[in-house]
Chain A
């Protein structure tokens, strides 16, 4: 391995501008992690226009910072308010809030921050070691391999992600279809433009992402309006004791490993990692009955895992050019906007960018560890800002932001249209994630498929007979058959165990954990929800 590039990467990060953007990124990330409603995907989408005006390295460093910073922030509200700021912090609520009830909110936050730092750092080291290997293997990939890899990525995101599998596949299909709008690169003919000049170059990625994720989420929150807040628990003594650190050390280790591997898996990501880590901690614990009542491991495990996963999910993006989840799809889009095509040659072609971004995560994690502890009080105050005030601000940032990209009123219209589509999709149980991911991969996949067909002379079996693409197809088949069967079996078991019927699309693991946490709880926490005074 070439260490000079890694060391040069640190030089890139330590440039004052890049440090500044790293700081801005993690601060924004933490902030939106604290605020329930707007998640990292929405925020990164809304901020896409800004990335135009800054250097590619700084832009990606900032966007990455938002992503892993949000994992830290989401914990704060989980612990203090029993209100997960992010999906990946939902399980932290069980034990984190129980600890807060015991007056140990500070300990819970401290353990979570240290765990996040630990998981993040282990994952960066893993990324540094694994990424060049994956990239060197991927150099031998041809169009058939890429076509199958893209298909695998889309399918994994559709089947593992939230929501019903079928609806996710439909959403992905619509994403692929939207990607075909515009001039066909092979024949030069226009497709689905309906004679519109604005559509001739295809639909831009920015309005789709900003509409579906940004505006769509704002609309959805406007409809849901579930902003009832507890009074935050008091925080005292944030530094965990040596005994508490020792108690959590096993969870830090296991969480890092679980997070790292689940993060690499397309569709896995931080949320799944935190759920699995919680389940794992409970399983290995000698005192599983303490879970749900304030077990430190119940905070340490998932919080370590979600940060580790957030970091390792960069591997497929930066080495194969295949985004593993919705956030990575947006960062993929941001890279394309900068004229950089992520793929196996990225490490050698753009070592500054690659190692700059990877190494910025060390700095970002250190910044987060330093900041998260003293800033907790500030963030709790920010929680007092009402959603009603934030909504028009985010809407205007989105609309005026998209205008600034190409000075185009048409793009503003597109954002509103896709915002409405995103809202309706969420209302009807379709996830926008697979759509955006498929849209991003659409033209790559079509090009790869058509090139493959030419290589094979029209013989479709070529996909199967080539060793690597054949293996990927094997995995796809396994996935299409095995995952639905596993889901049905898990569902049956969960229904039998808890005596409930699950709605399709409901996460078996999530519900199981929630039910377990509550049934273990002999004295259910009284819901002291204080309606927000208006």
Chain B
């Protein structure tokens, strides 16, 4: 079995290739790799059950479920192969503190979508920009505030004034 450190040929060469390929990220552990195989396996299995319920029909007169059933069998087979051979796969990346940043990012998007129909796009838009700039991007306070307002104004000008798109809005 290979370990990540085996990849390093000579220190000098590694420095260089790291920079070139720019993809040297901490690989994920065995659990993550198993999970990466189990998730599609479950999806395939669930899809196969659903397909059978839709009715497979005959080869001469295929039912609505025959095609999805075939695909699901393929997904299940490939996932099973991945699960068995998964120990050799090293392309999954470990989650880091930065992954938390992604989670916060997703939450801000969800918040925007929830708020949009009620308060229009301007305030959520500016808030989202601010959070991304200040907390996710590490920009300075005043920079974040100015840019957030600027971006929101630009969006208002483009979407509302120029393109006349019926976005839910305050103004």
Residues of A contacting B132 in the complex (Cβ-Cβ under 8 angstroms): 388, 391-392, 395
Residue contact B138 to A173, C-beta cutoff 8 Å: no
A407 within 8 A of B: yes
Return the chain A residue nearest B6 by Cβ: A501
A458 in contact with B113 given A180-B67, A388-B139, A527-B15 (CB within 8 Å)? no
A389 in contact with B93 given A90-B20, A399-B109, A428-B32 (CB within 8 Å)? no
Count of chain B residues near A, Cβ 8 A: 86
Residue contact B71 to A498, C-beta cutoff 8 Å: no
Chain B 64-83, CB within 8 Å of chain A: the 1/0 string? 11011001101100110110
Residues of A contacting B17 in the complex (Cβ-Cβ under 8 angstroms): 511, 514-515, 518
A416 in contact with B128 given A173-B78, A524-B16 (CB within 8 Å)? no
Alpha-carbon gap, A223 to B55, bound state (A): 43
Residue contact B133 to A399, C-beta cutoff 8 Å: no
Count of chain A residues near B, Cβ 8 A: 86
Closest Cβ of chain B to A221, distance in Å, is 10
Residue contact B19 to A395, C-beta cutoff 8 Å: no
Alpha-carbon gap, A500 to B13, bound state (A): 12
Residue contact A416 to B110, C-beta cutoff 8 Å: yes
Residue contact A453 to B16, C-beta cutoff 8 Å: no
Interface residue from B67, B129, B163 paired with A449 (Cβ < 8 Å): B67
Closest Cβ of chain B to A385, distance in Å, is 11
Alpha-carbon gap, A47 to B14, bound state (A): 38
Residue contact B88 to A504, C-beta cutoff 8 Å: yes
Residue contact B128 to A166, C-beta cutoff 8 Å: no
Among B67, B74, B82, B148: residue with most chain A CB under 10 A: B67
Interfacial residues of chain B within 112-136, with CB under 8 A of chain A in the complex: 112-113, 116-117, 121, 125, 128-129, 132-133, 136
Residue contact B136 to A416, C-beta cutoff 8 Å: no
A222 in contact with B79 given A177-B71, A420-B106, A503-B91 (CB within 8 Å)? no
Closest Cβ of chain A to B1, distance in Å, is 9
Interfacial residues of chain A within 502-534, with CB under 8 A of chain B in the complex: 502-506, 510-511, 514-515, 517-519, 521, 524-525, 527, 529, 534
B102 within 8 A of A: yes
Residues of A contacting B96 in the complex (Cβ-Cβ under 8 angstroms): 223
Residues of B contacting A525 in the complex (Cβ-Cβ under 8 angstroms): 16
Return the chain A residue nearest B2 by Cβ: A501
Residue contact A430 to B137, C-beta cutoff 8 Å: no
A223 in contact with B98 given A192-B68, A391-B137 (CB within 8 Å)? yes
Residue contact B20 to A82, C-beta cutoff 8 Å: yes
Alpha-carbon gap, A463 to B30, bound state (A): 41
Alpha-carbon gap, A449 to B21, bound state (A): 41
Residues of B contacting A517 in the complex (Cβ-Cβ under 8 angstroms): 16, 20
Interfacial residues of chain A within 13-66, with CB under 8 A of chain B in the complex: 53
Residues of A contacting B105 in the complex (Cβ-Cβ under 8 angstroms): 219, 222, 395
A389 in contact with B147 given A176-B71, A427-B93, A504-B90 (CB within 8 Å)? yes
Residues of B contacting A506 in the complex (Cβ-Cβ under 8 angstroms): 91
Residue contact B92 to A427, C-beta cutoff 8 Å: yes
Interface residue from A166, A225, A226 paired with B85 (Cβ < 8 Å): A166
B170 within 8 A of A: no
Residues of B contacting A278 in the complex (Cβ-Cβ under 8 angstroms): none
B95 within 8 A of A: yes
Residues of B contacting A467 in the complex (Cβ-Cβ under 8 angstroms): none
Interface residue from B65, B79, B151 paired with A393 (Cβ < 8 Å): B151
Closest Cβ of chain B to A199, distance in Å, is 13
Residue contact A412 to B75, C-beta cutoff 8 Å: no
Residue contact B9 to A505, C-beta cutoff 8 Å: no
Residue contact B15 to A223, C-beta cutoff 8 Å: no
A232 within 8 A of B: no
Which of A124-132, A182-190, A358-366 forms part of the interface with chain B? Answer: A182-190
Interface residue from B61, B121, B136 paired with A400 (Cβ < 8 Å): B121
Residues of B contacting A504 in the complex (Cβ-Cβ under 8 angstroms): 88-91
A174 in contact with B159 given A219-B106, A429-B89, A453-B59 (CB within 8 Å)? no
Residue contact B19 to A82, C-beta cutoff 8 Å: yes
Residue contact B109 to A391, C-beta cutoff 8 Å: no
A163 within 8 A of B: yes
B28 within 8 A of A: yes
Alpha-carbon gap, A450 to B44, bound state (A): 21
A173 in contact with B74 given A500-B6, A500-B7 (CB within 8 Å)? yes
A493 within 8 A of B: no
Residues of A contacting B159 in the complex (Cβ-Cβ under 8 angstroms): 400, 404
10 residue pairs from A and B, CB less than 8 Å apart: A164-B91, A173-B40, A173-B44, A219-B102, A392-B132, A396-B128, A413-B113, A458-B60, A505-B89, A518-B13
Besides A83-B22, A94-B20, A222-B102, 11 more A-B contacts (Cβ < 8 Å) are A82-B20, A84-B22, A173-B74, A177-B43, A177-B68, A180-B68, A219-B102, A396-B129, A429-B92, A449-B67, A515-B17
The 7 A-B pairs of least Cβ separation, nearest first, read A388-B137, A429-B91, A458-B60, A392-B132, A458-B59, A428-B36, A173-B75
Which chain B residues have a beta carbon within 8 Å of chain A's beta carbons? 2, 6-9, 12-13, 15-17, 19-22, 25, 27-28, 32-33, 35-36, 40, 43-44, 47, 50, 54-55, 58-65, 67-68, 71-72, 74-75, 78-79, 81-82, 85, 88-93, 95-96, 98-99, 101-102, 105-106, 109-110, 112-113, 116-117, 121, 125, 128-129, 132-133, 136-139, 147-148, 151, 155, 159, 163, 165-167
